[in-house]
Chain A
Amino acid sequence: MTNQAAEPLIWTKNGNMPIAGLTYQTAWDVQIPHYIKFCERYLDASGDVVKESAHVYDCQGVSAAGVVASL
């Protein structure tokens, strides 16, 4: 019986993979005042993206102007 800790895994398109064997990348897309987007990727040894998530903060919604006509 070994006392070795279990190797951390992460869910990818190829199933659970050892997270230590993947390359982690992040990117920000800042488009103020429209939105801010954070992307994170995991790449395998061949450079293939095996996991990718994105999170968008919508800084500003949409607006309509109420206009009344002059009589």
Chain B
Amino acid sequence: MSNTQAMATSFKKELFNGEHQFGSPTLVSRTSLTAPTADSFKAALYLATATLNKSTTVYSATNEVSGTGYTAGGVAIGAWNAPASNADSAYTTPTASFAWTTVTLATAFDCCFIYNDTQNDKAVSVHTFGSQTVTAGNFTLTMPANAVGTALLQIT
């Protein structure tokens, strides 16, 4: 037997659950110190001309889509699958699709931005899907399988 250098997979999952704290951030209260409530997250759409990427730190209305039936800030993400892990990776995915119904988004958009609505709109992730417009119709973003290799958010 020998020792193997690694980051604990359990630690990866616990990061999703906010079980470790290395710094001293300013947070919005999660009600209880020992049994904190889950944060609320949102999904917003952005124009194809926007420049969201890994350096995006917080939600901004700049270059967010606008149009009939669309509310600035996007839609609430109802719930996430409980963070899970296999041997190497931890992951989680929202339990339901994101949907915008009967909207008109005349300017091309290609990006969905997920952010933490509870913690001062801090960025979570950016997802792109090719340039698109919608006219008096629906736009849905169906979630991937909540599994290793496909989950919406994964730490490997």
Q: Write the residues of chain A forming the contact surface with B, with a CB cutoff of 8 angstroms.
A: 11-13, 29, 31, 34-35, 37, 39-40, 49-68, 70
Contact = CB atoms under 8 A, between A and B. Distances in A.
19 contacts: A31-B130, A37-B130, A52-B136, A52-B137, A53-B139, A56-B132, A56-B139, A56-B140, A57-B144, A58-B142, A59-B150, A60-B144, A60-B150, A61-B150, A62-B125, A63-B154, A64-B154, A66-B155, A67-B7
A39 B129 CA distance: 12
Interface residues of B, number: 37
Interface of B: 5-7, 11-12, 89, 91, 93, 102, 104, 125-130, 132-144, 149-156
B129 A58 contact: yes
A63 B139 CA distance: 25
Contacts of A65: 155-156
Contact of B135 (A34, A51, A59): A51
